């Protein structure tokens, strides 16, 4: 089957990551359909060449739409992503992140989908590291209902592969940042810092700022998804990260340098239960799929700042 005849359904395709995936598929000649309820997505992110459907995956009737679309590949990016919401209402989180995904998996089996791609979360499912960087063999010890839901779906994916021969790839993202990231809700720290610094507002770091994360540029996430979509032999769970552990203090200093902002941050009280360390070893996917080396943090921040400035204009 040639790329021109392939049809992908991207759920959450009006969002930060999903909309850029949709464009990457278009660039490769695929037919692209998007389902998004626009709760957090932005219709303005959607390329006019995309077949867009405003629908909620929690509604069982949406599966009728999926069956009518008959995609060859499903790339499932839609999710409830706020950890605080998952803690406050784990049942509602599971309705979106587990039950709706199971309905989509059931439809995928009925349609004989060639591959199911799933946006998982490395930091959320591994929990505090036993060793760093965390590779795919690291123990999975989620510290939130959100992480539990992501891990549960990975188990369901393996079950569907064994029982129904449904090929899948679960991509365990590190902390993704870049153009189009929202500053609403539980937004990424890069988006929040960039927005506040460009506005001339004070930046608040919760706690000491020595808590660490693996910041991966959205372009690298797109590249990982494209590799997983085009290489039939890829299956299972793969980290998508840089392997570079960066503290929040280091992130702020690098971003301030890119922006030329000399003001120091304000340190507020720490967030209760916040994970202190997270860094993912992404070499397995890069070797298996010939994915290039990740974008450096400074270069990724430069591109992010450029987008925020253009958006402000």
- Answer yes or no: are the C-beta atoms of 116 and 131 closer than 8 Å: no
Catalytic-labelled residue, pool 146, 168, 173, 177? 146
Q: Write phi, then psi, for 31 (nearest 5 degrees).
A: -80, 135
Residues 265 and 278: their CA atoms lie apart, in Å, by 22
Q: Does residue 146 carry a catalytic annotation?
A: yes
Between CA 153 and CA 140, with CA 243 as vertex, the angle to 5 degrees is 30
Taking alpha carbons only, the member of 25, 37, 45 closest to residue 115 is 25
Question: What strands, in cross-sheet order, belong to the sheet with 31-36?
Answer: 51-54, 31-36, 7-11, 73-76, 115-121, 168-173, 236-240
Residues catalogued as catalytic: 146
């Amino acid at each position: 089957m040639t790329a021109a005849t392939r049809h992908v359904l991207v759920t959450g395709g009006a969002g930060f990551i999903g909309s850029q995936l949709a464009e990457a598929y278009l660039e490769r000649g695929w037919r692209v359909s998007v389902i998004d309820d626009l709760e957090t997505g932005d219709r303005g992110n959607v390329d006019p060449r995309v077949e867009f459907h405003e629908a909620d995956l929690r509604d069982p009737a949406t599966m009728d739409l999926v069956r009518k679309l008959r995609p060859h590949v499903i790339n499932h990016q839609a999710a409830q992503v706020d950890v605080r919401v998952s803690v406050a209402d784990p049942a509602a989180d599971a309705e979106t992140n587990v039950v709706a995904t199971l309905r989509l998996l059931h439809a995928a089996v009925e349609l004989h989908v060639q591959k199911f791609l799933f946006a998982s979360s490395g930091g959320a499912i591994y929990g505090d590291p036993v060793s760093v960087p965390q590779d795919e063999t690291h123990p999975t010890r989620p510290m939130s209902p959100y992480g539990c839901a992501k891990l549960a779906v990975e188990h369901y994916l393996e079950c569907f592969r064994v029982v129904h021969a449904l090929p899948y790839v679960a991509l365990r993202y590190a902390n993704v940042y870049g153009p189009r990231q929202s500053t609403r809700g539980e937004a990424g720290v890069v988006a929040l810092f960039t927005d506040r610094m460009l506005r001339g507002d004070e930046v608040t770091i919760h706690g000491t700022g020595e808590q660490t994360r693996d910041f991966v540029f959205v372009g690298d996430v797109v590249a990982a998804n494209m590799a997983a979509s085009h290489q039939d032999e890829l299956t299972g769970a793969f980290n998508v990260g840089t392997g570079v552990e960066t503290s929040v203090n280091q992130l702020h200093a690098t971003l301030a340098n890119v922006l030329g902002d000399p003001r120091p941050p304000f340190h507020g009280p720490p967030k209760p239960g916040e994970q202190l360390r997270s860094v993912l070893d992404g070499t397995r996917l890069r070797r298996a799929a010939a994915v290039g080396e990740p974008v450096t943090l400074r270069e990724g921040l430069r591109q992010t700042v450029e987008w925020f400035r253009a958006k402000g204009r």
